[in-house]
């Protein structure tokens, strides 16, 4: 099989003045993924290359990177789909800690802010808080989110809005308000429908384009806007 040329973004703040691209010529193999190519470098060329990964099956969200001009999960990206030349860099617009590892703290702080769990103030019923199969199906798409940060990295409102919640947090806020078992609508809308929050979304669709799980985040955020508007117009 043909050789692969990997160009990878390298930056160690302790040693390097500036980031730089480093090229590696690596053996190709049928079915090889970008993550495996990075392992190849780690094991045979340069043990200092830093990147995050865990599950290797697109369910943990750790290996989101910027690969050949798109946000992708390294573990589920087939090299053969991209040609023989790879350009791999950390999630754009995020602070680089080392090489492909970025600072995810702001992302998770904002996620926590919207209270990503079921809220209730009523007494629990005898058996369970019921959710019908239809209600469950409605949130299927949203709960496939693995919090990889691709949408957050792609959003122009995040780039300039230091406190802007970002696509993932807003999508999760809607995911809970759309859940029949949740009673936190008022609380979550108050948290999100602020000048610095929901209204900084300008339906740019970068988040939807970036999502490696093909979630239409814009759709969820638009629904949340409608909910907020309906609430205010309804006099609540």
Partner 1 sequence: MYRPKQLKENADLSLRNIPVGMWGWILQRITGLLLVFYLMLHILVVSVAMWGGQESFDRWMHGLHNPVLLTLELGLILTVIYHALNGLRIVLFDLGYGIRAQRQVFAAVMVLTALIFGYSLYVIVPYIY
Partner 2 sequence: MNGMKGVWAWLGQRVSGVVLVFLLGIHLWVLHFVDPGAGVVFQGVAIRLRSVFFIVVDLALLAFSLYHGLNGLRTVILDYSISEKAARKLTWVLTAVGVAAFVYGALGLMAFLSV
Interaction site with partner 2 (CB under 8 A) = 157, 160-164, 189-191, 193-200, 225, 228-229, 231-233
Q: At what angle do helices 167-177 and 185-192 cross, to 10 degrees?
A: 160
Which one of partner 2, partner 1, none is in contact with 15 (Cβ closer than 5 to 8 A by kind)?
A: none
Q: Is residue 149 within 8 Å of 61, Cβ to Cβ?
A: yes
Q: Which is nearer to partner 1, 66 or 152 (CB)?
A: 66
Which one of partner 2, partner 1, none is in contact with 226 (Cβ closer than 5 to 8 A by kind)?
A: partner 1
Which one of partner 2, partner 1, none is in contact with 228 (Cβ closer than 5 to 8 A by kind)?
A: partner 2
**In the complex, what is the shortest distance from the CB of residue 73 to partner 2, in angstroms, rounded to a whole number?**
29
**In the complex, what is the shortest distance from the CB of residue 17 to partner 1, in angstroms, rounded to a whole number?**
8
Which one of partner 1, partner 2, none is in contact with 92 (Cβ closer than 5 to 8 A by kind)?
A: partner 1
**Which of 29, 31, 102 minimizes the C-alpha distance to 65?**
102
Which one of partner 1, partner 2, none is in contact with 222 (Cβ closer than 5 to 8 A by kind)?
A: partner 1
**Which of 86, 92, 97, 117 minimizes the C-alpha distance to 23?**
86
Contacts of 233 (CB under 8 A, 6+ apart): none
Q: Is residue 62 within 8 Å of 148, Cβ to Cβ?
A: yes
**In the complex, what is the shortest distance from the CB of residue 186 to partner 1, in angstroms, rounded to a whole number?**
22
Q: Which residues bind partner 1 (CB under 8 A)?
A: 9, 11, 13, 18-19, 66, 69-70, 89-96, 156, 159, 202-206, 208-209, 216, 218-219, 222-223, 225-226
Q: Which is nearer to partner 1, 10 or 32 (CB)?
A: 10
**In the complex, what is the shortest distance from the CB of residue 91 to partner 1, in angstroms, rounded to a whole number?**
8
CA distance linking residue 100 with residue 49, whole number of Å: 8
Which one of partner 2, partner 1, none is in contact with 44 (Cβ closer than 5 to 8 A by kind)?
A: none
Q: At what angle do helices 185-192 and 217-233 cross, to 10 degrees?
A: 110
Q: Which is nearer to partner 1, 58 or 204 (CB)?
A: 204
Q: Which is nearer to partner 2, 75 or 189 (CB)?
A: 189
């Amino acid at each position: 099989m043909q050789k692969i040329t990997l160009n990878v973004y390298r930056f160690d703040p302790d040693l390097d003045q500036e980031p730089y691209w480093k090229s590696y010529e690596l053996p190709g193999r049928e079915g090889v993924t970008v993550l495996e190519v990075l392992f190849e470098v780690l094991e045979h060329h340069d043990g200092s290359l830093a990147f995050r990964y865990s599950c290797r099956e697109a369910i943990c969200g750790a290996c989101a990177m910027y690969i050949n001009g798109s946000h992708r999960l390294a573990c589920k990206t087939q090299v053969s789909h991209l040609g023989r030349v790879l350009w791999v860099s950390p999630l754009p617009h995020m602070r680089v800690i080392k090489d492909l590892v970025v600072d995810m703290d702001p992302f998770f702080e904002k996620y926590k802010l919207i209270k990503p769990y079921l809220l209730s103030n009523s007494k629990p019923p005898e058996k369970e808080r019921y959710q019908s199969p239809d209600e469950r199906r409605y949130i299927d798409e949203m709960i496939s989110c693995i919090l990889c940060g691709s949408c957050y990295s792609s959003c122009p409102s995040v780039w300039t809005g230091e406190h802007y919640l970002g696509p993932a947090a807003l999508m999760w806020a809607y995911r809970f308000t759309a859940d029949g078992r949740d009673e936190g609508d008022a609380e979550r809308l108050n948290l999100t429908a602020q000048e610095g929050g929901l209204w900084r979304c300008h339906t740019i669709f970068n988040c939807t384009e970036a999502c490696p799980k093909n979630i239409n985040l814009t759709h969820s955020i638009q629904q949340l806007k409608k909910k907020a508007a309906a609430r205010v117009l309804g006099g609540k």
